[in-house]
Structure 1
Amino acid sequence: MIYTGPTQLALQDLTQHSGSHGQMTGHMLAEIERALLEHEPDRVLVYGDTNSTLAGAFAAAKLHFPVAHVAAGPRSFNMRMPEEINRILTDQLSDLLLCPTEAAVMNLNNEGFANRPVLVLQEGDVMQDSALLLAEQTAAPAGDLPKGFILATLYRAENTDNLERLAIIVAALNEINAILALLVLPLHPRTRKLIAQYGLELNVHFIDPVGYFEMVWLLDHCELVLNDSGGVQKEAFFFSKACVTMHDQTEWVELIEIGANELVGAVRKRIVDAVSRNLGRHVQDTEQLYGGGKAAERIVNELAKAGA
């Protein structure tokens, strides 16, 4: 979406659904540049850390349109993650950095942004705004679901593309499903293909990939979130669910600090033990870590001040 004035919006489908990182980013860069030249926006607003985020910021900066980055500043400190590269470069190209957390602001200050002619603000996380706004519109996924289930995700390349890590995680999931609680896993087609390719056997309750409304329903009704996602770590917190994360690091360090999330990597015993400890445990957002559902309102006010 390109913002072109106080009342006018222009929507453009870039029609880029697959390909390598370079192919996707390059295609979007060319198309976004074309759209910017056509509409001449006052400011370009990009969100998050996807390839489209970087493409939008890069196209805008090259054409000298000011860039506002929503969700600026989080860092995993793992340069093997494409998201980390995207967010670092996007922050460098932006003059209005709208951070979701105090840790994100600190990261930017440590990188020297406090001494640059840019504005760094902590505004909260619009993901929480969306989750709270749409929580009443959710729907259960199709099919029968077990009661008291654990919601799991398994798709991050660092886990699925490494046979050793994937085999350990599959063994841990099978053990949890057999002795602790049934696991519901919306299985990504790519993960399904790799599990078959490696000859692994995963014994959990599979469902087809789900959309946002179904995913929010699952988060709201599960007893625990066991994941290898980024955003799901926060979404679990939005719905007061304890979270166990099969990563070696996370951008959302504040959730680790308050005990809402536990990092376990790809170590079978650590995964099983953490699930056992946290199953059914609820967490509370006593400090409104992500803005309490008011982030979008704050961001709009800052955009208005910036003359966007």
Structure 2
Amino acid sequence: MLKILTVVGARPQFIKAAAVSRAIRETEGLSEVMVHTGQHFDSNMSAVFFEELGIPEPQHHLDIHSGGHGDMTGRMLMAVEPILIEEKPDWVVVYGDTNSTLAGSLAASKLHIPVAHVEAGLRSFNRRMPEEINRLVTDHLSTLQFCPTTTAVANLAAEGIRKGVHHVGDVMYDATLFAIKRAAESSNLLSNLGLEPNGYALATVHRAENTNTPGQLRSVIEFLQEKAQRRPVVLPLHPRTGQAASRMGIRLDGLQVIDPVGYLDMAKLLHHAAAVYTDSGGLQKEAYFHRVPCVTLRDETEWTETIAHGWNKLWKGPDYAARGEISEYGNGRAAFMIADLLKAASVTA
């Protein structure tokens, strides 16, 4: 039995891991051990996702959160290493671009355990973003790179990474197809909030580049408040953003502020929104999956396909391009391709 050890820690990773974990469970010869670093520790941003998405309870929970990037990553690295020594996995699978991603890939590579990176090859080309550094390092440490787009494949090739690179499509599309049906059956959030389908916009703000300085955060909030004059703007408030706004004296008047919500409630909000305003990489794509136009509250995006095909635009950039479908995100079977490739790579290693 091939043992795969998965390292997760943040909300987007739970969603991606849910799709891949389902595929692993359905693929003969594969087993999984999950490590939750604790990077997202609030129950609304962690436990609820495991419950709603049917992810097995992690066998190892590290409860590591808060602190600076170096402090957090270092503590994760120290905690993950003995687990790898104990579990002796055949593969370590990491997701995305968080401190948990970096710690998992570093710990595994130092122990000569092959790393597989889901969502490999994304680049914003802005090295001031900590996420960009995490992506770069993880890709160069990985044996298998599972790319969601052909652009990601090209980015890796430009950096000399060609072996072990696979364009599998986007596991977030797999997750979205799963969530749309389940949310329709279980979520009553719209009626609870008094919202009408297509009668509101959905916003999320959490990135350090938007929350670290008063001027930037004020500009983002004022942008959302301006949009709220046209239709209600629902803002599930990330703890970092709420703390920053309170500390900086920035009021959120005019916005429909709610607590963070679970994945299914978020899918329901997104599916029926008229527009999305976000600095989240994942939500930009999810907006497309639900066919909702998006405005990205950043100066660049890793998901250039959403811009090119007219479903997304930068808040200070040109207007939407002509709208078209994006075929390269796959057909909703990316997770099963990943499971098959992990199994095949182990056989040929």
Question: What TM-score results when the alignment is normalised by the length of structure 2?
Answer: 0.78
**Pick from 231, 234, 243: which aligns with 1:181?**
231
Q: 2:194 aligned to 145, 161, 164, which one?
A: 145
Contact 2:76 2:100 in 1 (8 A): yes
Answering whether residue 224 of structure 2 is matched by residue 156 of structure 1, we say no
The whole-number CA distance in structure 2 between the counterparts of 1:288 and 1:140 is 32
Aligned residue among 184, 198, 205 for 2:256 = 205
Match of 1:25 in 2: 73
Residue number in structure 1 paired with 2:179: 134
Retained in 1: the 8 A contact 2:305–2:326? no
Asked if the contact 1:140/1:218 (under 8 Å) is kept, the reply is no
Match for residue 239 of structure 1?
Answer: 290
C-alpha contact (below 8 Å) 2:309/2:326 kept by paired residues: no
Aligned to 1:87: 135
Q: How does 1:217-236 map to 2 (within 5 A)?
A: 217-236=268-287
- 1:65 offset after TM fit, Å? 0.9
- Counterpart for residue 107 of structure 2: 59
In structure 2, distance between residues paired with 1:158 and 1:197: 16
1:15 to 63, 86, 105: 63
Secondary structure, counterpart of 1:97 in structure 2:
strand
Query: What residue number does 1:48 align with?
Result: 96
**Kept in 2: contact 1:150–1:226 (CA 8 A):** yes
Distance in structure 2 (CA, Å) of the matches to 1:249 and 1:9: 35
- Separation (CA, whole Å) in 2 of partners of 1:83 and 1:305: 30
1:208-287 equivalence runs, <5 A: 208-265=259-316, 286-287=325-326
Shift of 1:9: 3.3
Q: Does the 8 A contact of 1:141 with 1:210 survive in 2?
A: no
Unaligned stretches of 5+ residues in structure 1: none
* Change in 2 beyond 3 A, CA 1:76/1:140: farther
Structure 1 position 7, deviation (Å): 4.9
Q: Does residue 196 in structure 1 map to residue 273 in structure 2? A: no
Identical pairs, percent: 46
Checking the alignment, whether the CA contact within 8 Å between 2:30 and 2:343 is kept in structure 1 is no
The unaligned stretches of length 5 or more in structure 2 are 7-23, 34-58
Give the secondary-structure state (helix, strand or coil) at the position aligned to 1:240: coil
| C-alpha contact (below 8 Å) 2:234/2:258 kept by paired residues | yes
Structure 1 residues 41 and 137 mapped into 2: Cα distance closer, same or farther (>3 Å)? same
Tell me, in whole angstroms, the C-alpha distance in 2 between the residues paired with 1:209 and 1:14. 22
Distance in 1 (alpha carbons) for counterparts of 2:32 and 2:251 = 49
Matches within 5 A, 1:99-110: 99-110=147-158
Check if 1:76 corresponds to 2:121: no
Q: Give distance in 1, aligned partners of 2:239 and 2:114.
A: 38
**Aligned counterpart, 2:327:** 288
Give the CA deviation at 1:8.
Answer: 4.0
The separation in 2 between residues aligned to 1:199 and 1:12, in whole angstroms, is: 39
Please state how far the C-alpha of 1:6 moved relative to its aligned partner.
3.0
User: Are 1:6 and 2:29 matched, yes or no?
Assistant: yes
Q: Deviations over 1:186-230 (max 9, x none)?
A: 112332232233333321111111121111111111111111111
TM-score by length of 1: 0.88
**What is the distance in 2 between the residues matched to 1:253 and 1:218?**
24
Q: Does 1:307 align with 2:346?
A: yes
Are 1:155 and 1:191, in contact at CA under 8 Å, matched by a contact in 2?
yes
Q: Residue type matched to 2:172 in 1? A: M
Greater mean alpha carbon deviation, residues 100-109 or residues 25-34: 25-34
Moved more, 194-203 or 119-128: 194-203
